[in-house]
Amino acid sequence: MPGTTAGHDIELIVDKIADNGGGVRPPPGGNGGGGGDGKQPPKRRRPSPKRYYTGIALAIVSVLMFFMALASAFLVRRGGPDWVPVHVPVLMWFNTAVLLASSGTLEMARKRLGLLDAGGFKKLWGVTTALGIAFLIGQVVAWRQLVGQGIYLASNPASSFFYIFTGAHALHVIGGVGALLYVTFRNFEKAQVTRVVGAEVTSYYWHFMDALWLFLVALLYLGK
C-alpha cells in the first residue's frame, strides 16, 4: 500500500479532536504500526472461540423459547373437556436418572481433560455418550409401553402433548449425542477450536438438555 505507508510513518502532533464517540480508543499501533511496513505476512490465527459460547447460549435461549411456547399451549389446553391425563411411565423416571448421571460423567470427563489426562477423558466421555444413547433407547421403550396401553399421539390432547414434549426433547438430545460424538472423533489439530472448547460448549448444551428434561417431566407429572 504505497499511498498510505508514508502517512503511517510520519509523526504528527495530534490535537485531541474528533474523538467524541465516548468509547475506548484503540490501543496505539493497532492500525498504523502492524501493517505499515507491509513485510509481515498476515498471520493466520485460530479465531477467538468466544463465538461458540455466545452461539450456544443464544441457541439455548431459542430452544427454551420453543419449549415454553409448547408449555403455554399445554397449560391453556389442559382444562379442556376432551383431556384424558397420561401417566408418566415408570421407565421414564429411570431414564431421568440415566440422563442426570450422564451430566455427572460429563463433568468428570471435563475435569480429566483439564488435568491433561486424555485417556481418562476419552473413557468418561464415552460413558457419557453411552448414557445419552441409553436415555434415548429408554424413551423409545417407554413410548412403546404407552402404545401398548393404547395411548397414541392422536388419542387426545394430553397424549398429543406428551408425545410432542418427549419427542421434541429426544430430537434435541440426538443433536447433543451428535455433538458428543463430534468431540470424540474430530481431529482437533485441524479444527478451528481446541478440544477443550468443543467439550465445554457441548457440556453447556448437554446440561441444558438435562435441566430441560427435569422441567418437562415435572410439567407432565404435575400438569396431567
Partner 1 sequence: MVTYNDDASAPESNGASPVAGVFSTHHKTIGRQYLWLSLASVLCGMVLSTLLRMHTSWPDTAIPFLAGVENTPERYAAVRLLHGSLMVFFVLTAAPQLGFGNFLLPLQIGAREMAFPTLNFVSFWLTVVSLGGMTASFFFPLNTGLNVWLASAVIFSLAALFSAVNFSTTTIELRAKGMTLPRMPVTAWAWFLNAILSLLIFSVLLAGATAVLSDRLLGSNFFSAASFLAHQPQNLVRQGNLPLLWQRLFWYFAQAEVYVAMLPCFGIITHLVATFARKPVWKERLVVLALCGVGLVGFCVWGYHMFATGMNPYAPLVFAVLASSLGIPAAFLLASWVGTLWNGRVQFTTAMLFTIGFISLFIAGGLSGIFLARHDLASAAVSEDFVTGHFHLVMGVAATFAILAALFFWFPKLFGCRMNESLGKVHFWLTFAGVYCIFMPMHWLGLLTQANLLPDAQRVALASAGASIRTLVTVATIWTVTAQSLFVVNFFGSLFGRKKAEENNPWRASTLEWSIASPAPDENFGSEEPAVYRGAYEFAANDAEDFAPQHLSPELLVQKAR
Residues that bind partner 1 (CB under 8 A): 1-4, 7, 10, 12, 14-27, 30-32, 34-35, 42, 48, 50-51, 54-55, 58-59, 61-63, 65-70, 72-77, 82, 153-154, 156-157, 160-161, 163-164, 168
- Residue 204 makes CB contacts below 8 A (sequence gap 6+) with 53, 56, 57, 60
Distance CA 224, CA 69 (A): 17
Nearer to partner 1, 31 or 149 (CB): 31
Nearer to partner 1, 61 or 137 (CB): 61
Degrees to nearest 5, angle at CA 177 with 176 and 183: 90
Compute φ and ψ for 184, nearest 5 degrees. -70, -45
Nearer to partner 1, 13 or 222 (CB): 13
CB of 63 to partner 1, least distance (A): 7
CB of 121 to partner 1, least distance (A): 26
CB of 34 to partner 1, least distance (A): 7
In 3D space, the residue among 163, 165, 177 whose CA is nearest the CA of residue 205 turns out to be 177
Nearer to partner 1, 73 or 133 (CB): 73
Contact predicate 29/130, CB 8 Å: no
Nearer to partner 1, 128 or 202 (CB): 202
CB of 81 to partner 1, least distance (A): 11
Neighbours of 154 (CB within 10 A): 7
Instruction: Provide the residue count of the chain.
Output: 224
| Sign of the dihedral defined by the CA atoms of residues 60, 65, 68, 70, in that order | negative
CB of 149 to partner 1, least distance (A): 17
